[in-house]
Amino acid sequence: MTCAVYQIVNERTLKFYIGSAKNYEGRYGLNPDWTKHHTLELRQDALSGDEFIYCKIQECSSRKEAYCMEQWWLDFYITNKMWDKLYNKDKFVDRAPSGPEFSELMKKVMASPGVREKHLKAQRSPETRARKSAAHKGKKRGPTPQFIRAKQSAKLKGKRPKWMDDEERVRQAGQKISAKLAGRKQTEEFCLAQSARMIGKKRGKYKDGSGKNISKALKKFYVEHPERCQKISEEASARTGDKNSNCKLKEQDIIDIANSERTDYVQLAAEYDVNIRTLKRRLKIYLKK
């Protein structure tokens, strides 16, 4: 005699009924007559010739625990937008414990060795799993209810994922993302939409001196990798045309400015119609050579 939560599945429509029993084996017998089931819709489907599968979802140690887990499974399917797939008409089990008693019982059940693993695997036969997989193929799960998202957000607020403390794992994750995005190019429509969205917007102020750190890192990069900077500049020039400062400032112009030894960068930038930062950077790269 096994106390358990069970499932009655319609093989044609894949609708199912969730219930619990003190004696799982003797609840409906070896040859159950589904035309006499207490649920009207299930009874009508049985009378129309549909066949059903009677299977065990989870074993329980007591009748109260079985009521509790039956309620858990109902909540699980309702939360995942599967209420229309249930024969059950009531969303609550009449004899299921509630309040503090329910919480204490659930803690006790889930803390038992192996129970959580069995519960999550949802003991179904390979045939049942295959049928369910075929029925849901190509379908997308509905959006998570707002109250669940709010609860999860409040629980995780201010917390850092544990895996981010592992530097090696973070590095591997970064490499994986980089490899996945390598060579990917955005469509012209996407670039135009992004450009239109950013028109008139200004970058906010950097916090905690990070702006200075970024500036130092960029200057170091320009000095240490002049060839790569030149390649980036050429690609930018080809993409933006005459609007790009690097495109306006020719190599011969840089040579002439360097030979003249002028330091009035404001006037020079105005003469060549470029910004001061681009002018200084190009001069620094040329002098480094």
Q: What is residue 79's predicted lDDT score, i.e. its pLDDT?
A: 78
Q: What is residue 259's predicted lDDT score, i.e. its pLDDT?
A: 84
pLDDT band at 242 (very low <50, low <70, confident <90, very high): low
Q: What is residue 116's predicted lDDT score, i.e. its pLDDT?
A: 55
SS3 content of the chain, % helix, strand, coil (to 5): 60, 10, 30
Residue-wise pLDDT for 155-172, tens only, equals: 888 887 777 788 888 888
Residue-wise pLDDT for 101-137, tens only, equals: 556 666 666 565 555 555 555 456 678 778 878 877 8
Residue-wise pLDDT for 244-275, tens only, equals: 666 667 778 888 888 887 778 788 888 877 77
| 118 phi-psi bin (left φ>0, alpha ψ -120 to 50, beta other) | alpha
Query: How many residues appear in the chain?
Result: 289
Which residues in 225-239 are b (16+ Cβ under 10 Å) and which e?
Answer: eeeebeeebeeebee
Q: What is residue 237's predicted lDDT score, i.e. its pLDDT?
A: 65
pTM for this predicted structure? 0.36
38 pLDDT higher than 70: yes
Taking residues 12-39, what's their average pLDDT?
85
What is the C-alpha R_g of the chain? 34
Give the residue with greater pLDDT, 180 vs 163: 180
CA distance 23 to 2: 5
| 14 phi-psi bin (left φ>0, alpha ψ -120 to 50, beta other) | left
Q: DSSP of 63-117, one letter per residue?
A: HHHHHHHHHHHHHHHHHTT-GGGB----SS-TT---HHHHHHHHHHHHHSTTHHH
CATH 3.40.1440.10 range(s) for the chain read: 4-138
pLDDT band at 194 (very low <50, low <70, confident <90, very high): confident
Residue-wise pLDDT for 55-111, tens only, equals: 888 888 888 888 888 888 888 888 777 878 888 877 777 655 555 555 666 666 656
DSSP 8-state secondary structure symbol assigned to residue 38: S
58, exposed or middle or buried, with CB in 10 Å at 0-12, 13-18, 19+? buried
24's CB contacts (< 8 A; 6+ apart) are 1, 2, 3, 4, 6, 56, 59
Q: What is residue 44's predicted lDDT score, i.e. its pLDDT?
A: 86
pLDDT band at 31 (very low <50, low <70, confident <90, very high): confident
3-class DSSP state of 132: helix
CA distance 272 to 262: 14
Domain 4-138 class?
A: alpha beta
